């Protein structure tokens, strides 16, 4: 799988940022372009850009402020796994979104999408 990573500094304590990022159902608070959203067990179904994307919660670690999920349907990919981590940076936070995706040609698309989501998260806490 091809790897990618984006990150951003957020001027808010990690506990507050984690409350938004670590809530698997809270994505629509900061992810731009969501037209519809629903949870089905450990899956979230996101409607955006005319697509319905199903993501499955893989792991959530409260102590490490880390959440991992996989896109399992709705996007033309062979495999995907992403992890969002919130770490302390001075009085604020750093949010890192790493991902593995196949085919490799999807790396720039996911990187751009996740970077825009991080910028919206940053603005949410401004």
Q: How confident is the model at residue 84 (pLDDT cuts 50, 70, 90)?
A: very high
Contacts of residue 37, defined as CB under 8 A and 6 or more positions apart, other chains included, come to: 27, 28, 44, 45, 46, 47
The answer on pLDDT for 27 being more than 90 is no
The pLDDT-based confidence of 29 (bands split at 50, 70, 90) is confident
User: How many other C-beta atoms can be found within 10 angstroms of the C-beta atom of residue 120?
Assistant: 15
Structure tokens at 98: 């790493």
Q: What is the pLDDT at residue 89?
A: 95
Instruction: Provide the CA 93 distance to its chain's centre, in angstroms.
Output: 16
Residues 12-19 have a mean pLDDT of 97
Handedness of CA 28, 70, 114, 125 (dihedral sign): positive
CATH topology (fold) of 2-23+57-124? Alpha-D-Glucose-1,6-Bisphosphate; Chain A, domain 4 (3.30.530)
Q: Is 8 left (phi over 0), alpha (psi -120 to 50) or beta?
A: beta
Nearest to 51 by CA among 7, 97, 109, 98: 109
The structural domains of the chain, with segments of one domain joined by +, span 2-23+57-124
Q: Cα(126)–Cα(110) distance, rounded to whole angstroms?
A: 24
- The arithmetic mean of pLDDT across residues 39-51, rounded, is 94
Two tokens, residue 3: 């790897």
Residue 126 DSSP one-character state? -
Whether the pLDDT of residue 8 is over 90: the answer is yes
């Amino acid at each position: 799988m091809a790897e990618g990573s984006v990150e951003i500094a957020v001027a808010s304590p990690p506990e507050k940022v984690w409350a938004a990022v670590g809530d698997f159902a809270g994505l629509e608070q900061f992810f731009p372009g969501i037209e519809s959203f629903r949870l089905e067990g450990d899956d979230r179904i996101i409607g955006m850009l005319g697509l319905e994307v199903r993501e499955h919660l893989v792991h959530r670690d409260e102590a490490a402020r880390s959440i991992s999920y996989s896109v399992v349907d709705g996007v033309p990919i062979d495999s995907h796994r992403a992890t969002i981590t919130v770490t302390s940076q001075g009085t604020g936070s750093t949010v890192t979104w790493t991902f593995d995706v196949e085919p490799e040609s999807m790396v720039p698309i996911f990187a751009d999408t996740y970077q825009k989501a991080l910028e919206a998260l940053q603005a949410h806490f401004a």
